[in-house]
Amino acid sequence: MTGETMAAEEGSVDGRTARGHRRRAQIIEATLAVVHRDGATGVTHRTVAREAGITTSLTLYYFATLDDLLVAALTSVADEYTDRIRRLIDSEDDPVGGLALLIAESGGPGRERALAERELSTLAARRPALRPVARRWRDNVAELARTRTRDPAGIEAFVALADGLCAAILLDDHEADPEHIRAILGNALPGHGR
């Protein structure tokens, strides 16, 4: 095999891999769109394929089971939140204020993703395959709280409060005030209220 032939084969493998990644991402985004529009119970391989404009067999090729599809969609959202919270923990002077901004986004530009995350996380109560990914938000928020306190009860209260604030914002369906959220979250941490 010549160098040119090997390079051409490597290029086609890399091209197929890149196309596969793009197709998976397209299917995941279509899944999130279905969750946003119809709720998690509206997700089937057929509805996702229709949303993505592809064949059902193609969704089955990339995600053999419905749980595989739902886990991938929830992982997509959880990865974004994990990255953002990790950056807050690693670099923010006020990670609680940063978390307040993140939570407030669920009443505005981040509503669709927050709603999908909430819906899929709730579905984890009935679909155990989703549970490890569904727990990531709570684990990340707890890690952020540990940057401010070692009190287990304070950390638990902080996580529950962050969850409750997210749910309330989604239920109220209106813009949220990050300063107000920051004040509420701060009060949950011993010695860190305003």
What is the full per-residue pLDDT of the chain (194 aa) written as tens digits? 555 555 455 556 688 889 999 999 999 999 999 999 999 999 999 999 999 999 999 999 999 999 999 999 999 999 999 999 999 999 868 999 999 999 999 989 889 889 999 999 999 999 999 999 999 999 999 999 999 999 999 999 999 999 999 999 999 877 899 999 999 999 988 765 44
Residue 41 sits in a domain whose CATH number is 1.10.10.60
Quick one: 111 and 177 in the same domain?
Answer: yes
Give 174's contacts (C-beta < 8 A, 6+ positions apart).
107
Which DSSP symbol is given to 54?
A: S
Q: Are residues 82 and 178 in the same domain?
A: yes
181 shares a domain with 88: yes
Alpha-carbon span 178 to 136, nearest angstrom: 22
d(CA 110, CA 98): 14
In a domain, 175, yes or no: yes
Residues 85 and 154 in one domain: yes
Q: What is the pLDDT of residue 4?
A: 58
pTM of structure: 0.84
Do 162 and 188 share a domain, yes or no?
A: yes
Whole-angstrom distance, CA of residue 22 vs CA of residue 35: 20
Residues spanned by the domain of 82: 72-193
